[in-house]
Structure 1
Amino acid sequence: MRGIPLTEDFANGGVSFWYRQIGLPTRRPGLPGPRTYDVAIVGGGYTGLWTAYYLKQAEPGLRIAILEKEFAGFGASGRNGGWLSAEFAGSRKRHAKARGRQAMIDLQHAMFRSVDEVIEVTRAEGIDADVHKGGLIHVATNPAQRRRLRAGVADLRAWGYGEDDVRLLGRDEQHERVQVAGALEASYSPHCARIQPAKLAVGLAAAVERLGVDIYEDTTVTEIRPRHQGLAAAVTTRGIVSAEYVIRATEGFTASLAGQHRQWLPMNSSMIITEPLPADVWKHIGWQGNELLEDEAHAYVYAQRTADDRIAIGGRGVPYRFGSRTDRHGATQAQTVALLWRMLVKLFPAAADVRVQHAWCGVLGVPRDWCSTVHLDHASGLGWAGGYVGSGVTTTNLAGRTLRDLLLRHDTPLTGLPWVGRQVRQWEPEPLRWVGVQLIYALFRAADRNENERVATTSAYAHLANLISGR
């Protein structure tokens, strides 16, 4: 990685910087053998933890177990960019087609409330996750991006966003909030907070245990089976867990389960983080409000200013590995680290001499139509939630509360939202899946180059990529 300034203790892979900062949690014991529960949850990330948290609060007598291959918070929950955002994955028109336009607007407002719900739980449970609700800035750095930014704000207005929910920033306020080089225009939404994701995962797991939920780590689930003689089952390498309900909360790791290989595509996302920036550099950048930041490129980047004054920035990098493979070690390719570094310096030239301390990657789940879903089938005893496409920090909370209501057979506003019960076709078999994803992201990168050089409207390459992807 010649030309990229690195700290002497630079690390690539292993765990995320978030765990490097706080230390890895002590591993919990594995499943001691066959067991029977009321609810078995496969996956110890945010989805599984939130589902257990709300179920146990609603019905303290429920016997609930979480089955986790590594440790609670190992996957995307402990590797993400720390965006507690109200942005929701998928096409609003597709969700509205299921249950009507107002249902999609209700879903968006439920996401607004979910941001505050997560913040309230951190306060109630004493979880210090570096939470700061500074909002979200989208920035455009070329004319094509500016057109998309303006069109995006207008579209959000049509889907229930008011003036207080999203707005274009005036030039003075834009510069006052954060100095992004080459910024032509920016929008702002208050519905977003910065978090330290590993702190949230560790704190939430501890809260779930205090409620009496059993968390078994180092326990690999290989198959989930529907009801037989009244009970569903999670088959593990340590024995079978039988339960009234089995909830699949495996997100980007779903392909590892028998029969689920083409259900959700595991998309890779990579991050780098700098050493703490000195005060004289921050004078040039601003960013005193600790807003979350994203550009309007097709192969976009996302960033946060951390509680200890670093910049964490992420993007897709190498998006997909053949055969839906996932990398347990979290290493980021050298070219991806270089790309993210170039983007950081492009946005913030004042940070050009600041060194990179850590790089890592993780996987997120992508359904074939790119729309998140939550579902429970009482007949089979099986349920699931996921396909968050990178918007899972908040959506997992909404999913957990929705699964609670579905499992307890409560008819609530949450169970009527349009993502509930959504059925999605599977991804294409290999090698079509791999070729398609590579082509999509090659087109997105070509579109960004095209727009940066000479095109004032969205590049035809991007339209073709969206057509192929089915977004």
Structure 2
Amino acid sequence: MDAKVNGNVSFWYADIGGLPAYRAPLPGDLEADVCIVGAGYTGLWTAYYLKKAAPSIRIAIVEREFAGFGASGRNGGWLSGGFSWSREKYLKTSTRGAVIDMETAMHGTVDEVIAVTEAEGIDADIRRVDNLTVATNKPQLERIKAAYEDAIGWNVPRDRIAMIGQEEAKARINIKNVLGAFIHRGTARVQPAKLVRGLAAAVERLGVPIYEQTEVTGIEKGKVTTNRGTVRAPTIIRATEGFTAGIPGNERLWLALNSAQIITEPLPQSLWDEIGWKGHELLGDAAHAYCYAQRTREGRITMGGRGVPYRYGSKTDVRGQTQQATIESLHAILTSRLPQTAGLRIDHAWCGVLGVPRDWCTTAGLDPETGIGWAGGYVGLGVSSSNLSGRTLRDLILRRDTELTRLPWVNRKVSKWEPEPMRWIGVHSMYQLYRIADEREEAGLDHTSKLAGIADRITGH
């Protein structure tokens, strides 16, 4: 089984006719009020909201490749508004009410993103759907029940979440051995490349230049150094997420965790009749090395997972190319969950990186001493979280004291990751233990494998 890796960084670009033409690079030295490093969701949302709030502000965005080259154009298309980080970790430096406010704000990003796409005329195949986390064995079922009870205990509204049993779960999506599912309502499916390209065009219409083919070689107070010139600005926003470790001085800040995806050929209606999936739900499972999937606009299935989880030294992939072994692993996951798909062709495969802080909890902030701000470490929830980042950074840059700037993720500092080879050993050990734990649970273990707990302790997950 082969998949096309044809120079596109993801299927999402193949879906819109291929990679975009490059915008012009930085023409030389430049002065601005705000310099944003990175033209993905985080940088673009920040520029969008900031320029809307202060039309006269001079913003310059610099990007090594093209707008949407990274995770913003490669992700699974989950506009989830989710909160899978540790509430308890945020509670250590905040209050219960503030953590609840943060989760509420995250959920609100779904409506906000949809409202902006409608206002700006961005067609990103957005469809409001439920998010299903399915369980296919007893330990997984116990974990999703515990997650549901934990959410209720944290005041997540009951109309946003639900537990369903085997019959209803199977009626939604005919997954092999499904025992039940945890439902999050109020989520949406998107075509990520369409969203990021549309957002970039909206930012340009506001008068914000995006300088592509411009590699940042250094960030310091008041100055961004690039291979095309120097941008001097009192405020600098680092919006580089999974690519942050590639900037000198940030090698241990956020770990670059890899994720990969495959996508099938379009399914015939007869096969959809067997599978169901009429609600187009976002689909994930409760395995330790979990997978994520969606039903696309034109009737394909994407399936994502970790593949090779980490490259030594937080190195990133080569333009989305992934390994044949990863493709085969993801295909095995797809056919184990949906055996009906066994005969389908895999049309594309790709990978990308996401940013992971040492405590696996996202942050956004602005240092008033240096004028350097940041947002990211989304741990895979960037489609929605980046929107809240943009609005939060807008308020921080404009020195506004708002409900957003008082949320517990703002200006939160965490430890750095260990030097190599400890990072590599830790992450690969964690996923090896997850793999073995999943295998034991699938083989009939009636409780969560202790190996998963050991894996979590190794890396602080």
| TM class by smaller structure | over 0.9
Say if 2:99 is the partner of 1:99.
no
CA deviations on 1:91-148 (whole Å, 9 max, x unpaired) are 1101122111111110110011111100111111110000001110000000000000
Post-superposition shift, 1:80?
A: 0.3
Partner of 1:110: 105
Alignment of 1:189-338 (within 5 A): 189-226=184-221, 232-338=222-328
3-state secondary structure, aligned to 1:108? helix
Say if 2:19 is the partner of 1:29.
no
Post-superposition shift, 1:440?
A: 0.6
CA deviations on 1:54-102 (whole Å, 9 max, x unpaired) are 0000000000011000000000000000000121242110112211111
Distance 1:319 1:13 in 2: 22
Partner of 1:11: 5
Distance 1:14 1:55 in 2: 31
Partner of 2:348: 358
Question: 5+ residue gaps in structure 2?
Answer: none
Distance 1:12 1:198 in 2: 17
Question: 5+ residue gaps in structure 1?
Answer: 227-231
TM-score with structure 1 length normalisation?
0.96
> Residues 19 and 203 from structure 1, CA distance in 2 versus in 1: closer, same or farther, beyond 3 angstroms?
same
CA deviations on 1:361-415 (whole Å, 9 max, x unpaired) are 0000000100000010122110000000111000000000000011111111101
Could you tell me which amino acid in structure 2 is paired with residue 224 of structure 1? I
Distance 1:298 1:324 in 2: 22
Alignment of 1:351-390 (within 5 A): 351-390=341-380
On the 8 A contact 2:244/2:250 being kept in 1, the answer is: yes
Alignment of 1:28-177 (within 5 A): 28-177=23-172
- 185-194 or 289-298: bigger deviation: 185-194
Partner of 2:450: 460
3-state secondary structure, aligned to 1:425? coil
Distance 1:411 1:312 in 2: 41
Distance 1:89 1:156 in 2: 10
> Residues 86 and 306 from structure 1, CA distance in 2 versus in 1: closer, same or farther, beyond 3 angstroms?
same
Post-superposition shift, 1:175?
A: 2.5
Distance 1:172 1:457 in 2: 22
Post-superposition shift, 1:154?
A: 0.4
- 167-176 or 36-45: bigger deviation: 167-176
Could you tell me which amino acid in structure 2 is paired with residue 97 of structure 1? K
3-state secondary structure, aligned to 1:98? coil
Partner of 1:229: none
User: Which of 395, 402, 423 does residue 392 from structure 2 map onto?
Assistant: 402
CA deviations on 1:164-222 (whole Å, 9 max, x unpaired) are 11110144432332111110111211131100000001000000000000100000001
3-state secondary structure, aligned to 2:257? strand
3-state secondary structure, aligned to 1:148? helix
Could you tell me which amino acid in structure 1 is paired with residue 37 of structure 2? V
Hey, which bits of structure 1, 4+ residues long, moved more than 6 A?
Answer: none
Distance 1:388 1:154 in 2: 24
User: Which of 14, 20, 24 does residue 14 from structure 2 map onto?
Assistant: 20
Post-superposition shift, 1:454?
A: 2.4
Distance 2:8 2:93 in 1: 41
Distance 1:222 1:70 in 2: 14
> Residues 89 and 421 from structure 1, CA distance in 2 versus in 1: closer, same or farther, beyond 3 angstroms?
farther
3-state secondary structure, aligned to 1:168? strand
Say if 2:335 is the partner of 1:341.
no
Post-superposition shift, 1:12?
A: 6.0
Could you tell me which amino acid in structure 2 is paired with residue 464 of structure 1? I
3-state secondary structure, aligned to 1:457? coil
On the 8 A contact 1:127/1:200 being kept in 2, the answer is: yes
Could you tell me which amino acid in structure 1 is paired with residue 389 of structure 2? A
Distance 1:13 1:143 in 2: 42
Post-superposition shift, 1:25?
A: 1.7
Say if 2:383 is the partner of 1:393.
yes
Say if 2:441 is the partner of 1:446.
no
Distance 1:55 1:346 in 2: 46
Post-superposition shift, 1:345?
A: 0.7
Percent identity of the aligned residues? 56
On the 8 A contact 1:13/1:360 being kept in 2, the answer is: no
On the 8 A contact 2:8/2:14 being kept in 1, the answer is: no
Paired residues, number: 460
TM-score with structure 2 length normalisation?
0.98
